[in-house]
Amino acid sequence: MENRAGFSDVEDFDITELDDGGALGVVTAETSGDAASQDRRMRVLAELVSAAAAADRLLAAASAARAEAVDEVRAWCLSNELAAERDRARRAARADAVALGLTPDVDGDTDSAARCGTVSAGVPGSRWDALEIAYRTAISELACALHISQASAANLMAQSEALTGTFTASRNALAAGQISYAHARILIEQASSLPEAARTAFEAEMLPQAKRLTAPQFDRTARRLRETSHPESITLRRTKSQADRTLVFEPGADGMGWLHTYQQLPVAQAIFHRVSDMAASLQGPDEPRTLAQLRADVLAALMVDGVTPAGLGRGVRATVNVTVPVLTLLGRSNEPGHLEGCGPIDPETARGLAAGAPSFTRILVHPETGVMLSVGRNQYRVPKDLRRLLVIRDETCRFAGCNRPAARAEMDHTHEWQEDGITRYDNLANLCAPDHRLKTQTTWTATQLPGGVLAWTAPSGLHYRSDPAVPFEPPGVIDDPPPF
């Protein structure tokens, strides 16, 4: 029998010979005493489990191959940019020598970048050095090609460099399907905080355990070994790690969202206990909410209307855009609204926010008339109402795959202002500061298509597309204002 995964056949086995339910390996009253029948069923189960394990080994081997391919991207970008930098230095030195009359001016310089094959991904006059250009080129190309964020691409590149360098034993185990990529990532994460001289010994001790433990079990074991073998005290390490404290918002499904915070352990514990104590104090026979729900409600109440060290914070709320279809707003439709940066919200919540929350900006699905859509070449600065329209249209940074909020991004002229670009709705897009610099300092280019679509071209020549959150194209032709 060929199993559904298609990995191998069960020898000399005909599934039609089984009794009712036998295809699922079910032992019935009629066959429970038939040892041969039970054996055949167990052979099917063993084959299916073996096929799943074989597929998992293939995933591990593919992860090892991906690590090698990703590191080749990093290495190529670095060597290419360093070669281009050396070539620029040679040509600059030659130009200086020619200017001083120390060497003749020869046409067709054999040391030119075109002849030696070094074409930098940086634009002429870029303020980034070769290392920065190589790094940003590699992670941006990988992020777009693999459909991951640039932060994830940077992590993947660092892990791949580790697997092809210091942790080759882990890469070999991964290629052989003896460990999963999750195990390899845990080992790298824990070992990388140790001094370089101690990392190989840490890997040698932990790798055998990675082959037999689940990823969570391995993580706990690796953390314990790291703590006992680390030359720095936990106090010193905690002081360093404190700089990484953060608060992260993550949109969830069904109109919900998550808040995650990374804090000193005593602070995190104190926050949780205080919220729990306040939630427990609200419990009673007439309180229908569970303790978990009360914790969430207490934290929300404290953060939205609480007291901060600077004083009373009641009513301090961030401005958020909520898009509400007209018929939903009028109560004639149950089409969901759209919360900026999060996604759909239920009609009742959308109507409530649009009607009674002054910190929310109400936006109809079709932009209202009267918004200035272009100031042409008269003004570089984007008018306030046009900026707001473009923040609503884009919602996030418009570099391919980036999710940083448009409200905190910079306004970019797709066709550069200094190259006669105009300040107009179809030549403007929101780019976060890092991606704005990437577009300015490297050969990444963008072209704006109708509806606010951006067509990106990478230094490699590969093409990517970025769609706006709310496609926008005003009716009729918008003429630029006269130059007076």
pLDDT digits 0-9 by tens, 396-437 = 999 998 988 898 899 999 999 889 888 888 899 999 999 999
Q: Are 159 and 188 in contact (CB under 8 A)?
A: yes
Q: Are 440 and 457 in contact (CB under 8 A)?
A: no
Contacts of 231 (CB under 8 A, 6+ apart): 194, 195, 198
How many whole angstroms separate alpha carbon 137 and alpha carbon 443?
9
Greater pLDDT, 228 or 16: 228
With cut-offs at 50, 70 and 90, classify the pLDDT of residue 18.
very low
Tell me the average pLDDT of the chain: 80
pLDDT digits 0-9 by tens, 255-306 = 888 889 988 766 777 788 888 888 888 888 888 989 899 889 888 888 877 6
Greater pLDDT, 214 or 323: 214
Residue in 149, 133, 216, 154 with CA at minimum distance from that of residue 180: 216
Residue in 136, 140, 168, 145 with CA at minimum distance from that of residue 67: 168
On the question of pLDDT at 347 being above 80, the answer is: no
Residue in 475, 479, 382 with CA at minimum distance from that of residue 431: 382
Displacement of CA 144 from its chain's centroid (Å)? 10
How many whole angstroms separate alpha carbon 240 and alpha carbon 232?
11
How many whole angstroms separate alpha carbon 259 and alpha carbon 52?
36
pLDDT digits 0-9 by tens, 113-171 = 445 556 899 998 889 999 999 999 999 999 999 999 999 999 999 999 999 999 999 99
Classify residue 350 as exposed, middle or buried by CB count within 10 Å of its CB (0-12, 13-18, 19+): buried
DSSP string, 65-92: HHHHHHHHHHHHHHHHHHHHHHHHHHHH
How many whole angstroms separate alpha carbon 330 and alpha carbon 347?
11
Question: Strand, helix or coil at 260?
Answer: strand
Residue in 482, 419, 472 with CA at minimum distance from that of residue 448: 472
7 CB neighbour count, 10 Å cutoff: 16
Contacts of 263 (CB under 8 A, 6+ apart): 245, 271
Question: Strand, helix or coil at 445?
Answer: strand
pTM, full prediction: 0.69
Half-sphere exposure of 111 (CA within 13 A, CB side): 14
Classify residue 313 as exposed, middle or buried by CB count within 10 Å of its CB (0-12, 13-18, 19+): middle
Query: In the prediction, which pLDDT does 5 show?
Result: 42
